[in-house]
Structure 1
Amino acid sequence: MQKTLGALALATATVLALSGCSSAAGEAADDGRVHVVASTNVYGQLASEIGGERVEVTSVIASPEKDPHSYEATARDRLAVQKADLVIENGGGYDAFMTELLEGSDAAVITAVDHSHAYADAEKAHDQAEEGAAHEHDGHEHDGAGHEGHSHLEGANEHVWFDPHTVAHVVEQIAGELTELDPDGAQAYSAAAAELTDEINGIESELDALHARLEGTPVFITEPLPGLLAAAAGLDDVAPDGFASAVEEGNEVAPAILLESLSLFEGDAAVRAVLVTTQTGGSETSRIEDAAAEDGIPVVSFSELLEADQSYAEWMRAAISDLAAALA
């Protein structure tokens, strides 16, 4: 009932917003640009870099202070999505608020997790485990809409923007969708996407070099966010099962798991660095950070969103640089 009332309130507020801003919306629709809405500024920046002045990009979440996992959409967000020609979401339950915003939208939709090999492998493993059961689980449906059937999948890491290979495919699809919507800009979109892809390939090469040097290095990851980046760098996450998932979901870490985690920092610590997320955390995460500080073990922070005026490539290189410096 609470969810239904919330949806009704959002719909009512949206009607009011539309009636109060009809002339402004009409002007925006006639400005000749392709209107793109991204769930976060990570995908918004990619669209801006590829589209240039031919696109107008709105990122639903642009502040690093906000947590996309728990974000509640507004009437303004819904209005932006309903006006959009192209919508870019992460999927995988990360930006679940997009599902409701996309209801009734005619926009083309790009879902980043659709391009992740790691996420696809997790889906396949889940499907095999559920073989013979009814195939109505949200994580199983692939009807091409992109925004349906992408709830959180147990055991999968939905933070796929930290996998450059996935992002390269997203860049390719953004350029393709923009070309479909604006054929006159095809050459500009293709050139910008090619330049961005070259940067992403360079990032992959940096991670390959780290992997060769750091393969098997033990680190403690307090939340799943940097997991794909750490794996690409060859790092071994030694955090006990259940710690990161509990923190991400806002639950208490089981006492036995917390004690096992803290024991990794006793004596000759078996941890070279602790990887944390700026948007989430709690008392258990703080205890891990304190234990690391006592042992002189570096703590590396990762953000889910870009800073203002920061490109995706700059952001990723900074994250890789911080990781490499901590493990030098």
Structure 2
Amino acid sequence: MVSITGDKVEKVYDGQLSSVTYETKISDSDYKESDFKFIGAAKTITKTDAGIYDLILENQFINQNDNFDVTFNISNGQLVIKKRSVTLTSASAEKAYDGTALTKDGVNISVPTATTGFVLGEGIAPKMTGTQTEVGSSDNTFTFEPTLATKLDNYDLTTEYGTLTVLPSVNVQKTDSDWTPLSGGKFKLSKWDGSNWVAVEGVSELAITDVSGVNIPVGLKAGIYRLEETAAPNGYIVLDKALHFTVTETKSDSGQSSFAVALSDETGTPATFDRAKLLGGGSNYSNRIQIANQSGKALPHTGGQGTMVYILSGLAMMGLAILVTYVQKHNRERSDFS
């Protein structure tokens, strides 16, 4: 009996040639390999690219020695070259709305190992297509072309998109009681962290230097915010209460975000105010909050520095009055004596 056993080789694509052939075993030592003949297409398969390649051996051998009654026991060979796994991941980015498109270059390619990643000298050339202008988020999409030495059929490519996020940007504008814009005024912005009102990173004092107001210089993530007026325009009274607003984020089924800004109370419950309005966006901000001031001068708060000034002034006037009275009385007494 003659046994013909084809090689079975399985590997991951590595850019190198791989081959399969067969092994022969003869049970009768008098019978030689020269006594039979291969009549198939190929005794060996040599391949580089990913795929499944069968070496057909069955019914491909015939006996050429009539002195032997030969039985052939044959199994086919096979070469399996699996595709390499590669993950392509685009970068993420975010910014405050400013009316211009947000883009972000960069595609990270998974680090090569023995069985993953691009083979040395092979790869892709990406082209970024992702863009986000309006408030919200979207995938940082990209396309790609293989480099000259690369056959994409040798790879199992997984594409993962980063996220481009444009956050709401808010303009704070001062007005008079008739909603006519004013120049001047200062505000302090803080955010509720669940326990305390804390400063917003990247935001210091908000000073309004012209009638167009001032843009909060950072994009606002979801949360409850507080605006406290620390100085009013000249001739107007500083607000005695803080103004609150909320930014809410909603996720779609695809995982993308949308944002909404609303006036609220300090708990985040939507509210309306006589002296505040929420308006739509402008060329470089997504929302505007108008805050109206009443004309006049504020009286000092009880216990404040103004109170001390009034007390000291009153005491000084009382002391002066006593002194004047004493001098007048003394002069009269001198007059009577003379």
Same fold (TM over 0.5): no
Larger relative contact order (CA 8 Å, sep ≥ 6): 1
TM-score (norm 1): 0.22
**Highest Rg: 1 or 2?**
2
